Amino acid sequence: MHLLKYTLLAAAASASALAHGHAEPLLKIPAIWQSPLFKSSNHPVGSHSSPAPVKPKLQEAFQIHEPAPILTNTPQICSITLVSRSFANSYGSPSYLSYDPASFAGTSCSYPDEWTGLTLDIHGETRGRQFDRLGTVWVGNNRTGQGVEVMRLDNPEPTRTGVFWDIKKDIGKYWSLFSEKADVVFDLPNIVDDTYTGALNVTLKLSASVDGVMQSRGGKHRRRPVAQSALSLKNRSADVVIPLSKRLRTNNSIFLIGGSAGNGTTPITLPQNAARAIVEIYASGTATEEFWYTGIPDRFYNQIPDASEDGYYGHGTYREVQLYIDGTFAGFVTPYPIIYTGGINPLLWRPSANYGTFDQPTYNVDVTPWLGGLTDGKEHVFELAVVSSEEGGGINDASWFVSGNVQVYLDASGERTTGKVLKVQSGGEDVDGYTEGKLVGDPLTNGSLTYTVGLKRGRSFGVAGSIKTGSGVEYVAGWYQSAEYSNNGFVNATAQTNDQKSYGWTRSFVLGADKVDKVMDAGLSLDELQTLADTQGVGAVQLDYNYPLYAASYLSNTNFDVQVNQQFDRTVRRASHNSQRNDLNQLIGDETTFVHAEPVTALPHATLSRRTGTVDSVLVNGAIANGTGTSDQTFMYRDMAGGTIDRHTRTNTTSVLQDTLGGSASGRAQPAQLAVA
């Protein structure tokens, strides 16, 4: 075996890279299923003459997740099945159906107006050999638009004996779509043949609940939390959800973005009485961008012969998704790196997938400051782009999967909202990045490349606009955000490491017109904003995020060892001049930008997942023959009602070794307490 032919990314790609593109997978996948570790019986691999085994017990594959529904305890739950299908050769043939809330007739949840909770529930089973696949769920109607993405998911890779998984997602924010007749699409493209034998047997359910109860944290002097009945989703959720997608009724509406594929563009007309609007973005790199955080800066990439043949990709490591409204930059999001269950080394993710794998996180940009100009009843163009920090912002061709929606809250008057943009930070679209590094010889033979990709200054953007609703409420709405980024990379023929730091904050605020310069120019901390809140009626909600990632792979003739440490950290805080008021019942889901003129703002909440994973695996003929992965994950969660989950989980490839689960909301933990070996 010629060692140098086995570049690390090729090994990683063989496990999964092409599984997410639209092309069929061509690279070989690890022959891990041939390992004695994965044998369910003594029958030789691939023997077709062996008698059918007794249906084996499937192992649970899981992802630690926040409770769903978020916030409410739900005594009365009603479920309907939307799709139940064995996804085998399902490329280009999604499931689509007509949904009618009348399906809940005869249950306790007959009336959507009474629902206090809403979730999408996935149950899947798979056995054999298969990649992980990227699935999506879409909902829409002919009036407000088809093709609103409401969930993006990955499956665990199967084993010979089979695995199952369950994940529930809170979709209360999409209540308006599910409260009436809708067209639903569930796309889970899979291929089954003699080699890739695992069908994905998946059931997708919609669960509504009524009579939900929220545990309010109560006043300072109250010892115990107080239960209050939850307001209906109708009262809490956005009134209209408008798709930013291809808007198809019977197919996947995803925008494939990058290079020749261009950007994702949607012309939309907003209701004239829109009083507040948030753009939510779904975004993940796939195919040649699946491992975007390992990209080699262009100036080095262009000097490495055979880089692309050996499975390396260029355009550096920085990616951001940008939002433009009528060609004007309106905000950006820096994505959390999603690592699928086939990513880098599949043994990293068994049986414990990383946070964000079975239900990908999304990102918000508050576009309320622009509303005065968007409520004219005319069409406005919303565009989503993905850029790098390289010259020209280029990324690899057609390999980001992106979609979005606009969640609109209406003013009760029905009259037009007016106002204008008062201040916008110019040049927000320019990513001022740099690359440094040293290339010695050819890193694909006996040389090496050491590099850093970063942002020269913290990246920031801000906009403030006046709003006057038909009901006469007048205020200034602001959106302000800041991001820091760096990635130290190393590549040679047998090792690759990337140490990525990506963190920042986003802030929605409400204030009087005379405070705009003061609040936007001063680079105020949230504590300083609180002082203004107390004295001058400013309100703000801030999301702090931090997504560090360390990934290291080491290859030899006989071994492929990996370490991946990753964190997902989001904390929402607020500065409010009405901080005594408990607005819990006005809140929805994982809201991060909730600021009303009223003022109703999000209550503090936080999600922190910190996971380390290692694999030592043995290679035979360049494929993984056997090995052991370990994971160690802490999960800390605090919801807006003060409910907490505090969890520590350890696994190896075959077993759950520890699951310490505590906190006042542990009864709603997802998954529930795991059985420990």
Interface segment toward ligand NAG; rule CB under 6 A; list 25-33, 410-418, 440-448, 461-469? 440-448
CB of 497 to ligand NAG, least distance (A): 8
For residue 571, state whether it binds ligand NAG (rule: CB under 6 A): no
Of 208-216, 456-464, 514-522, 647-655: span binding ligand NAG (CB under 6 A): 647-655
Q: What distances in angstroms separate CA 271 from CA 159, 428, 640, one per listed residue?
A: 50, 27, 30
Complete DSSP assignment for 205-228: EEEEEES-EEEE---TT-SS-EEE
Binding residue for ligand NAG (CB under 6 A) from 209, 357, 626, 670?
626
Q: Using CB under 6 A, pick the residue from 27, 31, 473, 495 that binds ligand NAG.
A: 495
- Ranges within 106-125 binding ligand NAG (CB under 6 A): 113, 125
**Considering only residues 263, 452, 563, 582, which one is a binding residue for ligand NAG as defined by CB under 6 A?**
263
**At closest approach, how far in Å is the CB of 553 from ligand NAG?**
11
Altogether, the residues listed in the chain come to a count of: 677
One of 441, 512, 523, 662 touching ligand NAG (CB under 6 A): 441
Q: Which residues pair with 559 in a beta bridge?
A: 618
Q: Which residues pair with 570 in a beta bridge?
A: 545, 607
C-beta closer to ligand NAG: residue 575 or 624: 624
Answer yes or no whether residue 56 interacts with ligand NAG by CB under 6 A. Answer: no
CB of 93 to ligand NAG, least distance (A): 6
Residue 260 has phi, psi (to 5 degrees) of: -65, -20
Q: Which residues pair with 98 in a beta bridge?
A: 183
CB 186 within 8 A of CB 95: yes
Q: Which of 118, 199, 330, 538 binds ligand NAG (CB under 6 A)?
A: 199
Q: Does 183 bind ligand NAG (CB under 6 A)?
A: yes
Compute the 3-state secondary structure of the chain and give helix, strand, coil in percent, each to the nearest 5. Answer: 15, 45, 40
| Buried/exposed 328-361: b ≥16 CB within 10 Å, e otherwise | ebbbbbbbbbbbbbbbbbbbbbbbbbbbbbbbbb
101/79 Cα distance (integer angstroms): 11
Q: Report the candidate in 87, 157, 552 with the shortest Cα–Cα distance to residue 353.
A: 157
Q: What is the DSSP string of 337-375?
A: ----TTSS-GGGGSSEEPTTSSS---EEEE-GGGHHHH-
Q: Which of 495, 466, 464, 467 is nearest to 478 (CA)?
A: 464
Q: Which is nearer to ligand NAG, 473 or 495 (CB)?
A: 495
- Closest to ligand NAG by CB, 312 or 568: 312
Burial of 582 (0-12, 13-18, 19+ CB in 10 A): middle
Q: Which is nearer to ligand NAG, 608 or 657 (CB)?
A: 657
The count of other CB atoms within 10 Å of the CB of residue 457 is 9
Interaction between residue 236 and ligand NAG (CB under 6 A): no
Cα separation of 109 and 211, whole Å? 10
Site string for ligand NAG, 137-176 (x = CB under 6 A): ----xx-------------------x--------------
Tokens of 85: 């299908």
Nearer to ligand NAG, 279 or 524 (CB): 279
Residue 446 touching ligand NAG (CB under 6 A)? yes
Contact flag: residue 654 with ligand NAG (CB under 6 A): yes
Applying the rule CB under 6 A, the residues between 528 and 567 that interact with ligand NAG are none
Q: State both tokens at 219.
A: 């006043």
Which residues in the 11-30 window bind ligand NAG by CB under 6 A? Answer: none
Residue 97 is encoded by which pair of tokens? Answer: 């159906």
Binding to ligand NAG (CB under 6 A) within 573-592 occurs at: none
Given its phi and psi angles, is residue 331 left (phi above 0), alpha (psi -120 to 50 degrees) or beta?
Answer: left
Shortest spacing between CB 571 and ligand NAG, in angstroms: 28
Q: Which of 192, 625, 656, 665 binds ligand NAG (CB under 6 A)?
A: 625
Q: How far is the CB of 490 from ligand NAG (least distance, A)?
A: 7
Site of interaction with ligand NAG (CB under 6 A)? 36-37, 86, 92, 98, 113, 125-127, 141-142, 162, 181-183, 199, 201, 231, 234-235, 250-251, 262-263, 322, 385, 387, 393, 429, 440-441, 446-447, 492-495, 618, 620, 625-626, 628, 652-655, 657, 677
